[in-house]
Structure 1
Amino acid sequence: MAKAKQSSLSEEDIDHLRAELAAGRPAQVWFTSAAVGVEAGRSAKVVAFTDPAEGDYIQVRPTGEKDELSFSPAELTVEKPAPRKRTPAPASAPEPAAPAPVEHIYTPAPPPAKPKPAPAPPSVERKPAERKPAARKQAKPAEVTVTLVSTAEGEWTVDVQWGSRRTLKAAPVAASAVAQAAKLLPAEVDEAVDSVLSAARERHLARVEQLRAELEAAQRALDELTAEGT
């Protein structure tokens, strides 16, 4: 019986895989016979999508490996292959019984002359043909985008976008750490960060002066009330 050919990924399959990956549930796929460098029917997990114009834009991690490889939709399928059936070995036929010996009565003829044995041809050792391993596709490195966001109060957060996945969102960062990092970057970055920090310092200083004045006024009022009560 001919083996059914697995269908490659359709547009609906790719949309489903993208939705599962965005929800944090990497879906499982299998390699078709068109996949280069891997065995057909082997399973893998989808880890990322790159630009479809690249052709091999689906990044997967084969089961049991740590490397991420890139493949095209024709090399993958969402149809799980059927398990292979083992063909039982045919039962060996019983050995025929040995025939009973038959006694022959004959007159022996003179033995023929023995021919000289021909020289044996030299033996040639054959080496097995070397098979070149199939070239494996290496996953293309994903781009990383780091974004720093400041507030009017001088608070900072950081976002990290790794390829199509956001690995960090609005994580708080100390203003001192931002200032130190900015000094190692181009002057335009240091100038922009310093302007934000300076404005935040001025607002907090004005607030401290206001609170100090309110505290002194409250202290004087308390002293007057205490003096009147004595």
Structure 2
Amino acid sequence: MSPLSSDELRELREELSAGTTPTVWFTGSAVGVPEGRSGKVVALGEPAEGDFIQVRPAGSKDVLSFSATEVTKIKPPRKKAAPPEPPAKRPAKPPAKPRTADAPPAKPPVERAKATAEQAKPAAPAKPRAAAASAPAPGVSASAKPAGAAVARRKPRQAKPIGGATVMLTADQDGQWSVEVSTGKKRVVRPTPVAANAVAQAAKALHDDVAAAVEPLIDAAREQQRARVEQLRAELAAAQAALDELGS
């Protein structure tokens, strides 16, 4: 099973940025996980960190760190179980030869008793065939490493954070404010309108410099809305005077 290439690592980063958890399979170099087992990639660090791929193995809640040589995107073929060996057939006994008239004379009683005693001895049990030491057991890879030793040297650790979050406040020409939030390359909150007084209160709570930078924008929006109100009042007064002239 081939390890991850640079192109496959780039594809994993793109899938994580799109909000999906891509599937990988463990190679024979993976420590603590059987070869061919699948897992979900939850985060990617920098290759200089060594074990920079955060993977949650199938059937486990722990997130473990692996290198590019320990996982692959190529799904391994399903292994077929070896057929059971047929039972050994016992050799058929040869048919007894019929005694003929030309048969040799019977043995003396002493020799006949000796032959009977030798035939009565139990046959030595057949030695069991030893299994070939070099043949691996069916369904088990020869490169698999004992899980117990791997657990002792590798401890599960928390997944590294994917990245920081970016909160952006924007004011348009009409003094309307909106906010959007992004984590890494993924935008989790699209531009959403917020009240100007909420922006002013948040700026004061964050830092004096932030409040000083936001306050002129709030004042400009306030003056713009005040002028708009005065304009609407004048239009309303003109419309009311026209209505009065027409009579009620």
- TM bin, normalised by shorter chain, reads 0.5 to 0.7
Which one scores higher on RCO, CA 8 angstroms, separation ≥ 6? 2
Provide the secondary structure at the position in 1 that maps to 2:188: strand
> Which of 171, 177, 181 in structure 1 is aligned with 2:192?
171
Distance of 1:212 and 1:22 partners within structure 2:
51
Pairing 1:1-230 to 2, within 5 Å after superposition: 6-93=1-88, 133=152, 134-142=154-162, 143-226=164-247
Unaligned stretches of 5+ residues in structure 2: 92-114, 118-147
Deviation at 1:187, TM superposition (A): 1.4
Q: Note the aligned Cα RMSD (angstroms).
A: 3.1
Deviation at 1:76, TM superposition (A): 1.6
Deviation at residue 93 of structure 1 after TM alignment = 4.2
Q: Is the 8 A contact 1:48 1:58 kept in 2?
A: yes
| Structure 1 unaligned regions, length at least 5 | 1-5, 97-101, 105-129
Provide the secondary structure at the position in 2 that maps to 1:204: helix
- The separation in 2 between residues aligned to 1:21 and 1:219, in whole angstroms, is 62
Identity of aligned residues (%): 52
CA distance in 1: counterparts of 2:185 and 2:42, whole angstroms: 10
Closer, same or farther in 2 for the Cα pair 1:156/1:41, shift >3 Å? farther
* d(CA) in 2 for partners of 1:55, 1:14: 14
User: Measured at CA, do residues 166 and 49 of structure 1 come closer, stay the same or move farther in structure 2, by a change above 3 Å?
Assistant: farther
Indicate how the Cα distance of structure 1 residues 32 and 159 shifts in structure 2: closer, same or farther if over 3 A, else same: farther
Is contact 2:203-2:211 (8 Å) kept? yes
Would you say the 8 A contact 2:25–2:37 is kept in 1?
A: yes
Distance 1:167 1:61, change over 3 A: farther
Q: How many residues of Structure 1 are paired with residues of Structure 2 in the alignment?
A: 193
With normalisation by structure 1, the TM-score equals: 0.67
CA distance in 2, matches of 1:154, 1:62: 51
In structure 2, relative to structure 1, the CA distance for the partners of 1:140 and 1:23 (3 Å cut) is: closer
Q: What TM-score results when the alignment is normalised by the length of structure 2?
A: 0.63
CA spacing shift, 1:74–1:174, aligned 2, 3 Å: farther
- Whole-Å Cα distance in 2 between the matches of residues 198 and 84 of structure 1? 72
Amino acid at match of 1:9: L
Partners of 1:39 and 1:79 in 2: how far apart? 15
